[in-house]
Structure 1
Amino acid sequence: MSKVQTGLRGFVLAVGAFAFLFPFYYMVIGSLQAEPDPTIAGAFPHPDNITVDNYVAINDRISLWTGLANSGIFTMGVLIGTMVFGVLAGYALAQLQWRGRGATFALALLVQVVPFQLLMIPLYVLIARDYGLADTHIGMILPFLINSTAVIIFRQYFLQLPKELFEAARIDGAGELMLLWRIALPLVRPALVTVVLLTFIGPWNEFLWPFLITKDASLQPLAVSLANYISTVAASAANPFGATLAGAVVLAAPVVVLFIVFQRYFISTDIGSGVKG
């Protein structure tokens, strides 16, 4: 590749990175402005206009720590269920032979085209009225406990593993759970991290279902608390623009940090290390 092509590629990537990162930068800068400036010049505010009062103001109204704790409980519950059921179902669909395996996989694919919004009303009736789980963390978590996308991802990764590894281990007397724990899971770490990140983003930013199932403000995740603040309280705030952006920064920060820490696993794989040449 010539120097001109290399320079052009670098320029295009730099422009793309700037276009992608500028909204996040503007969100952080906007959350720190004492006096809001929605113009382009507001992206480079005077140091005298920088303050953390917006974070204090929104925390006084909706308690950011309580919202973060509720978001964490909701997300971790969904994450644990997704990982456990996704790994077990994906392994069974990829490595085990049983009647109905193809139909089950087809059903998992079919679920992908059904919008969750179509299921919310019957789910609400089932969970709130029949199970009595309204205004509980379990009621928030239950509809998301099994994720068909995670099942499909794990199945595809498990299918790539050399069958010779499993056959040799079975000859040595290893059971299926031992095969899954000792052989399969260490070789699909990119899939584990991918599912963790995809699953984390979903419930962390989820609004509709927690808003529907919870009326107690002390149980609502941060996304719901922030939406309630925007619709009912922000108009009376001294700086609603900055306070809203401050809440958005707090909501987005864990996702951004998680992605930065684990992004290298998206492009790494250890499947080939399980077989000696």
Structure 2
Amino acid sequence: MRRALGGKVAMYVVLSLGAVAFLFPFYYMVIGSLQTDVDSTPAGAFPNPANLTVENYVVINARINLLRGLVNSGIFAGGVILGTVVFGVLAGYALAVLQWRGRGAVFSLALLVQVIPFQLLMIPLYVMIARDYGLSDSYLGMILPFFISSTAVVIFRQYFMQLPRELFDAARIDGAGEFRLLWNVALPLVRPALLTVVLLTFIGPWNEFLWPFLITKEASMQPLAVSLANFISNIAASTSNPFGAMMAGAVVLAAPAVALFLVFQRYFTSNDLGSGVKG
């Protein structure tokens, strides 16, 4: 009993220390964004309340329009999520449930695509989208290269493969078509995969810098990550508190991703498959 209690206490101590180490950079970022005078020493993590202000947020918003950047980032991330989920579900279902010639080869290609770095394709994509299609400085031009994700296809395929074949056979006997099977039978049982793909997909375009930087020249079209990088390289030096303004922009950029994860993190560990099959 005593040994088990000691082990549990040790585990909680280690986990608590890990959580503090993980969360401290976020805490320091928030505190830094609120400081009137920058304190780069360790004592800066525990500032005098009289040294705290929201002026840094006002300053950076006046320079780069945080709301507009958030809207652009949201449209970019939302478009990528829509394409990733729709095509990932359809392709994953086809690779897992339907029987057709060449299915294994297509799945192997989906795995192979994941080892090709996006940077290798960036220049040809830029030439095709900006010059051939004329989609520079547009949301569609930002979204198209990320519209289909092979990672999402693989994730959905693996989840669909776990579903009992008897569910689909019984629904087909009742006269259900494949789209009805997908919507009414398969999707409700893979909600953890759906939410996982949405969260993982959101992080990529939300923090993406290089491609939106290449494809957008108009400041009004740039996502917040690009606007913040431009602020750091071109404008920050002219502000009275560049460190505080940069931290304020970083907080605004990180806040939606952190909030989304906190709201939906329980779905990473939940699994409705067993209860769905039993029902």
User: TM exceeds 0.5?
Assistant: yes
The residue correspondences of 1:125-136 to structure 2 (distance < 5 A) are: 125-136=127-138
**1:273 positional shift:** 1.8
Question: What residue number does 1:14 align with?
Answer: 16
Separation in 1, partners of 2:197, 2:276: 22
Q: CA RMSD in A?
A: 0.8
1:228 and 1:139 map into 2 onto residues whose CA distance is 20
Quote the offset at 1:16 in angstroms: 0.2
Structure 1, unpaired ranges of 5+: none
Letter matched to residue 150 of structure 1: A
Shift of 1:275: 2.5
User: Secondary structure of the residue that 2:50 maps to in structure 1?
Assistant: helix
Paired position in structure 2 for 1:262: 264
Report the counterpart of residue 175 of structure 1 in structure 2.
177
Any unmatched runs of 5+ in structure 2?
Answer: none
Partner of 2:44: 42
Distance 2:273 2:97 in 1: 15
Specify the alignment match of 2:278 in structure 1: 276
Structure 2 counterpart of 1:216? 218
2:144 to 137, 142, 145: 142
For residue 61 of structure 1, report the CA deviation from its aligned partner.
0.2
Q: Which amino acid aligns with 1:198?
A: L
* Cα distance in 2, alignment partners of residues 39 and 162 from structure 1: 59
The count of corresponding residues between Structure 1 and Structure 2 is 277
The equivalent residue for 1:78 is: 80
Tell me which residue corresponds to 1:152: 154
- For residues 163-192 of structure 1, the C-alpha deviation after alignment (integer angstroms, 9 at most, x for no partner) is 100000001110000000001000000000
Shift of 1:276: 3.0
CA distance in 1, matches of 2:90, 2:277: 23
Partner of 2:205, secondary structure, is: helix
Deviations 1:49-102 (A, max 9, x none): 000000000000000000000000000000100000000000000000011100
Letter in 1 for 2:121: L
Cross-structure match for 1:228: 230
Task: Provide, for residues 206-237 of structure 1, a one-character-per-residue CA deviation record: whole Å limited to 9, x for no partner.
Answer: 00000000000000000000000000000111
Q: Which residue of 1 aligns with 2:56?
A: 54
1:248 counterpart (234, 246, 250): 250
TM-score (normalised: structure 1): 0.99
Compute the displacement of 1:274 (Å): 2.7
Mapped partners of 2:17, 2:198: distance in 1: 30
- 1:115 alignment partner, one of 89, 114, 117: 117
Is 1:207 equivalent to 2:209 in the alignment? yes
- In structure 2, give the amino acid aligned to 1:83: V
- Partners of 2:29 and 2:108 lie apart in 1 by 42
The ranges of structure 1 where at least 4 consecutive aligned residues each deviate by more than 4 angstroms after the TM superposition are none
C-alpha distance in 1 between matches for 2:277 and 2:65? 52
State, as a whole percentage, how many aligned pairs show the same letter.
75
